Amino acid sequence: MTQRLFNRVALVTGGSRGIGAAIVRRLASEGASVAFTYSASENQALDLVSEVQVTGGNAFAIRADSAIAEAIQGANTLSRFGRLDILVNNAGILLRGTVDDFDLADFDRMVAINIKEVFVATQAALPHLQAGARIITTGSIAADRAGFPGASVYSMTKGAVAALTRGLARDLGPRGITVNAVQPGPTETDMNSSNEVHDMLKPLMALGGMGKDHEVASLVAYLAGPESSFVTGACLNADGGYLA
């Protein structure tokens, strides 16, 4: 792996497992020092730090509940690494339910983590970001296609992420900071872990199979690197042709 991100510092929210952990591994493998937040998966977070360090990388775990604004505001890389160059807003949850029985507490929690956290983390990071910095958010193709009953609130949150990405790109472009989103399609993660879900989704894929977390991470790494300097305000799909 090339060291395209050598001497760069990244913060990944929700980085202890799934796509977040794959992003941490990929950015570290390309030379970045990576801090990441976790909420409850402490053992997984510490195991990931050890894994990155064994392979010669540099990682640091920060406990912070993505639903709590103050916790996200306090999660920073400065005490450990002294700077911040790349923010990856990856934290997200998926709670399903049709409109007639969707619990309002679940609604509020999904909005807090999937939308508000992106804004709060970006706002907190901005004083430390210089020209050439990158902000990348993990969205979803659900922003463009709900796909099945019970996904309306989740789709709403990811549609908001796409709109926020475009607006932030306009706000921060004059500062030389790019803002983009990666929109995974059906991917093998904790959110889509059952064989029943896999069997339902695979026929809908142009490539005939679910995505892998490292494939999503590779697109994040591209947006974090020097080759993407002219890409901003984009929502890039990694969906195996689900939307084709």
In our burial notation (b when 16+ CB lie closer than 10 A, e otherwise), range 160-194 reads bbbebbeebbeebeeeebbbbbbbbbbbbbebbee
* Gyration radius of the chain over CA positions: 17
Residue pair 210/192 in contact by the 8 Å Cβ criterion: yes
The CA distance from 149 to 146, in Å, is 8
Nearest CA to 227 among 89, 140, 132? 132
134-138 and 86-89 as β-strands: parallel, antiparallel, unpaired? parallel
The CA distance from 189 to 72, in Å, is 23
Amino acid letter for position 140: S
What are the beta bridge partners of residue 183? 237
Which is the catalytic residue, given 38, 154, 222, 242?
Answer: 154
Amino acid letter for position 51: E
Task: Look up 154 and say whether it is catalytic.
Answer: yes
DSSP state of 187: B
The CA distance from 116 to 241, in Å, is 29
What are the beta bridge partners of residue 178? 134
> Residues with catalytic annotation?
154
